[in-house]
Amino acid sequence: MKQIDWFEEYLKVFENIEKRLMELGLWSKKRPAQEALESTMPFCVDTLKLEQWLQFVFLPRMRRSVERKELPPGPAQIAPIAKEVFKETSDSEKLIRAIQKFDEVSHLSHLH
């Protein structure tokens, strides 16, 4: 059986999340204020929209982990909040599936 390269799997997931955010017009060109990024609340829920958290907090942190050959923290459970936040966003199914894939990879990579 072929060994799974979890780091490569994570990078594919990150690229897909980024792509889906862009397709939905949720990718921002403007970085939020530093104070907003430093929130201690889960998902920076008190200072950022979920798509901002994904772009400016989650993806950069997760990519740094992978670049250092460290598995991102896990297992993750981001998809449930994404389903709730994006339920009124048309065509958000692919974004939600991409986030679900992250949760899945996060879970499986920590089992091995």
In the chain, where the domains are located: 6-28+39-111
Query: Along the 112 residues of the chain, how does pLDDT read in single tens digits?
Result: 578 899 999 999 999 999 999 999 999 999 999 999 999 999 999 999 999 999 999 999 999 999 999 998 888 999 999 999 999 999 999 999 999 999 999 999 988 6
**Which CATH fold topology does 6-28+39-111 show?**
de novo design (two linked rop proteins) (1.20.1440)
Reference 27, options 106, 95, 97, 105; nearest CA is 95
CA distance 40 to 54: 15
Whole-prediction pTM: 0.93
- The token pair at 40 is 């201690």
CA distance 94 to 17: 9
Q: Distance between terminal CA atoms of the chain? A: 14
